[in-house]
Amino acid sequence: MSLPQLDFWFDFGSTYSYPASQRIQALAAEQHVYVRFRPFMLGAIFKAQGWNTSPFNLYPAKGAYMWRDLQRVCDELGLALVRPDPFPQNSLIAARVAVAVSEESWAGDYCAQVFREEFAHGRQIADPAVIRSVLDHFSSDADGILERAQSPEIKEQLRSETEMAAKLGLFGAPSFVTEDFEVFWGNDRLESALAWTHRAEKIRTR
């Protein structure tokens, strides 16, 4: 019997996607849930709402709260936190690479490591050299992967993932989507989403 599945939709520039990315693999393994890392371009969805940057930049009170809250969340998890500059980072290359390696066993580890480079070490994830250094941990062909990530096929695949995110009604990240299309938004709803996968599983195998 196959494991229940949870889709983890995120943007590499998204702040609360950082703690989610560091928690999800261990939690899902404990609960026998299979996680798919599905990057999308949240900026495209924001743009469709008339926003040209993160709402955390557009609404200063909300932004100030988010940075303080994120610090508390990271403190509690023992995660380092550096505020990316500029914020948000351009996540396009990181996301295309994630799409290009999505069939690899280490796809989730790659994503988690990119988040750490950005939010724990303050590195520029828009810089291909930073992405290459992450890929070097997992593959002997980082340059080949980076090249493939810029191919028309991968570009189109990421666009299509972003359209799918919009169709699912996603408006922020992280969002967790179960096999029966229940959506849970926010790092603090990860546990609820994982619990729901087992409920979905029960219904499916009835």
Q: Name the minimum Å distance from CB 64 to a copy of itself.
A: 6
User: Taking contact as CB under 8 A, which single stretch among the options 6-14, 22-30, 62-70, 150-158 is the one that binds a copy of itself?
Assistant: 62-70
Angle among Cα 18, 56, 183 to the nearest 5 degrees reads 55
H or E element at residue 119: helix 107-119
Can you tell me which of 1, 2, 49, 52 binds a copy of itself, judged by CB under 8 A?
49
Q: Which two tokens stand for residue 51?
A: 């926003």
Residue 78, φ and ψ in degrees, nearest 5: 70, 30
Can you tell me which of 8, 9, 10, 185 binds a copy of itself, judged by CB under 8 A?
185
Provide Rg for the chain, Cα atoms: 17
x/- contact string, 71-90, with a copy of itself (CB under 8 A)?
A: -x------------------
Q: Does 204 bind a copy of itself (CB under 8 A)?
A: no
Q: Name the minimum Å distance from CB 70 to a copy of itself.
A: 12
Binding residues for a copy of itself, how many (CB under 8 A)?
21
User: Taking contact as CB under 8 A, which single stretch among the options 4-12, 86-94, 145-153, 164-172 is the one that binds a copy of itself?
Assistant: 164-172
Q: Does 69 bind a copy of itself (CB under 8 A)?
A: yes
Can you tell me which of 25, 31, 116, 172 binds a copy of itself, judged by CB under 8 A?
172
Q: Name the minimum Å distance from CB 176 to a copy of itself.
A: 12
Pairing of β 5-10 and β 34-39: parallel
Sign of CA dihedral 52, 120, 18, 191: negative
| CA–CA dist 150, 152 (Å, integer) | 7
Residue 204, φ and ψ in degrees, nearest 5: -65, -40
Long-range contacts of 183-192 (CB under 8 A, 24+ apart): 186/16, 187/16, 187/17, 187/19, 187/20, 187/23, 187/73, 188/73, 190/20, 190/23, 190/24, 190/27, 191/27
User: Taking contact as CB under 8 A, which single stretch among the options 93-101, 103-111, 113-121, 169-177 is the one that binds a copy of itself?
Assistant: 169-177
The residues that touch a copy of itself, with contacts defined as CB under 8 A, are: 49, 59, 61-62, 64-65, 68-69, 72, 169-172, 182-186, 188-189, 192
